[in-house]
Amino acid sequence: MHHTLAPITAPIPVRASSTDDPVELLRFAINAHGLGAAALATLVDIRGGAARALGAHMAVAADGRFCGYVSGGCVEAAVASEALLAMAQGRDRTVKFGDGSPFFDIVLPCGGGISVAIHVLKDVGALRHVLDRLERRQAAGLAYSPGQQALKPVDPLPRAQWLEQDFVTVYRPRTRVVLSGQTIEAQAVARLAEDSGYDVIAVAPGGVRPVADIIDPFTAVVLLHHELDAEAAILEIALRSPGFYIGALGSTRTHRRRVERLGAMAFRKDDIARIKAPIGMFGPTRDATSLALSVLADVAAARLVAYA
C-alpha cells in the first residue's frame, strides 16, 4: 500500500502590530521565543536610498506573526517568510531586496537596495540586557555575528554600523520631555508629546528640587511660562543639566531680558546659548496646537542632531 505524505505548509506571515518602537519589538521577540521560536531581522546594508535607518528591526514569531519595519512596508512580508524558513532550518540567513537582489518581483519604491540579516534566536539574554539598560535610561549596544550566528551585548557606538565581522545595533532611551508651565500651551504640548510616545513629566510650581535627577542626556526641557520669574528656578537647573534641548516661551525682547538676567548670575555665554528662544521650529504661532507642533518638531529635530 502506497502512502503520500501531506506537504507541511509554512505559516502565513501576518502583521501583529504597526509599532516600530525597538522596546516593543524586542519584547515581542522575547515572548515569541518563550512560546516556541522567534527570529530577529535587522537592516544591515543600504544601497542607494532607503526608508529606514541601519539597525532597524523586525521580530518574527514561529506562527507567522511579525512586527517592525526594515523598509517602508514593501518587503516586510517577504522578510517574515524568509525568517520562517530560517527558523524551520535552524540557520541564520542574510537576504537582499531591491537593487542587487535575486527577488526581481520586489522593487523598492526608493530605487535602492537593502540587506537584512535574519537571526534565529537561541536565547534572549542579550535582548533582556538591552531592555534592562533602556529601563534604566541608559544606551545599549547589541552585536550580531553572522559567522557565529549569535547576539551579544556590547558598549553602544555612536550609530549602528559594521565593526569588523559584527553588525552593532544601538539603542537609546526614548525622549523625555520635562514640561514646566500652567498654561494652555503646556497642556497642548503635554497631549501631543504623550501621543508621540514621549515620556512626559509635568513639573508643578515649587516642585523644583527633584527635577535635577530626571533631566538626563535624553531629556528636553520645555518652559512655557508667561513670566521670567516663574521659569527662573527650573531654567537654572536645566542649564546645569545634560539635557539635549532647552526651550523657553517668549518674544525676542523677552529673551534679551532673560539673557541679561542669566549673565548677571554668572552663567557663561555658551550655557545661555543652549536656550532655544523664542521656542519652537516655526513661529510666531497664535494658537496652542500650532505652538505644540512647533515645539515638538524642534525637540525631534534636536534629538536627531544630538544622536544621529
DSSP per-residue codes, 2-24: ---PPPPPPPPPEE------HHH
3 pLDDT above the threshold of 80: no
Question: What does R_g of the chain's alpha carbons equal in angstroms?
Answer: 24
Alpha helices of the chain — where are they, by DSSP H? Answer: 22-35, 76-89, 125-135, 184-195, 211-214, 228-239, 252-264, 269-272, 288-306
If pLDDT is split at 50, 70 and 90, which confidence band does 285 have? confident
Q: Amino acid identity, residue 61?
A: A
226 pLDDT above the threshold of 50: yes
Mean pLDDT across the chain, nearest whole number? 91
> Which pLDDT score, from 0 to 100, does residue 51 have?
84
Query: Which pLDDT tens digit goes with each residue over 41-50?
Result: 999 999 887 8
What are the C-alpha distances in Å from 227 to residues 50, 167, 263?
Answer: 46, 50, 18
If pLDDT is split at 50, 70 and 90, which confidence band does 284 have? confident
103 pLDDT above the threshold of 60: no
Is the separation of the CB atoms in 157 and 168 below 8 Å? Answer: yes
> Which pLDDT score, from 0 to 100, does residue 7 have?
47
Gap between the Cα atoms of 67 and 2, Å rounded: 43
What are the C-alpha distances in Å from 281 to residues 108, 168, 290, 296, 302?
Answer: 32, 33, 11, 8, 10
Is the separation of the CB atoms in 76 and 37 below 8 Å? Answer: no
157 pLDDT above the threshold of 60: yes
> Which pLDDT score, from 0 to 100, does residue 74 have?
79
109 pLDDT above the threshold of 80: no
Q: Which residues of 9-47 are buried (b: 16+ CB within 10 A; e: fewer)?
A: eebebebbeebeebeebbbbbbebbeeebbbbbbbbbbb
Least confident segment among 19-33, 102-116, 258-272:
102-116
pTM: 0.88
Least confident segment among 89-103, 118-132, 139-153, 244-258:
89-103
> Which pLDDT score, from 0 to 100, does residue 110 have?
60
Mean pLDDT of all residues in 123-139: 97
38 pLDDT above the threshold of 60: yes
Q: Pairing between strand 219-223 and 199-203? A: unpaired
Mean pLDDT of all residues in 264-292: 91
Mean pLDDT of all residues in 103-110: 57
Q: Amino acid identity, residue 28?
A: F
If pLDDT is split at 50, 70 and 90, which confidence band does 209 have? low
> Which pLDDT score, from 0 to 100, does residue 6 have?
43
If pLDDT is split at 50, 70 and 90, which confidence band does 132 have? very high
> Which pLDDT score, from 0 to 100, does residue 50 have?
81
Least confident segment among 20-24, 75-79, 203-207, 233-237:
203-207
Least confident segment among 37-51, 92-106, 184-198:
92-106
272 pLDDT above the threshold of 70: yes
